[in-house]
Amino acid sequence: AQSVTQPDIHITVSEGASLELRCNYSYGATPYLFWYVQSPGQGLQLLLKYFSGDTLVQGIKGFEAEFKRSQSSFNLRKPSVHWSDAAEYFCAVGLRNRDDKIIFGKGTRLHILP
């Protein structure tokens, strides 16, 4: 069955430090890949997405993600985090077949130390 794994439930980094959030998926083909961010009390907002082409994808708010087919991974990165980046981050996959579902990982909550 298709699945999305975010191995880190919580991550804490200092403001100004670099960030990498991990995401692995299980699927027989290359899916569509997404990263969403959820601020407290809010819905989810798309940060970036990968459909095809260049495997390094740039998103909003200075985030980027790299698709690595050999590792079935789509890790999210940011070179220098800001206190406003504290939120929950969700990796998601969309399935390239008749089934148009988007499956979400369980999320990684990011905490920022001043």
Partner 1 sequence: DAGVIQSPRHEVTEMGQEVTLRCKPISGHDYLFWYRQTMMRGLELLIYFNNNVPIDDSGMPEDRFSAKMPNASFSTLKIQPSEPRDSAVYFCASSAPGIRNTEAFFGQGTRLTVV
Instruction: Report helix, strand or coil for 67.
Output: strand
Residue 28 or 114: the one with the smaller Cβ distance to partner 1 is 28
At 70, phi and psi to the nearest 5? -65, -25
Contact between 96 and partner 1 (CB under 8 A)? yes
**Residue environment code for 74-96, b if the CB has 16+ CB neighbours within 10 A, otherwise e:** bbbebeebeeebbbbbbbbbbbe
Using the minimum distance from each CB to partner 1, give the nearer residue, 42 or 84: 42
Distance CA 33, CA 50 (A): 5
Residue 104 touching partner 1 (CB under 8 A) = yes
Residue 62 makes contact with partner 1 by CB under 8 A: no
Question: What does the block give as tokens for 15?
Answer: 């403001």
- Which of 43, 53, 69, 70 is in the footprint of partner 1 by CB under 8 A? 43
Q: Is 11 in the site for partner 1 (CB under 8 A)?
A: no
Q: Which residues bind partner 1 (CB under 8 A)?
A: 31-32, 34, 36, 41-46, 49, 51, 90, 94-96, 99-107
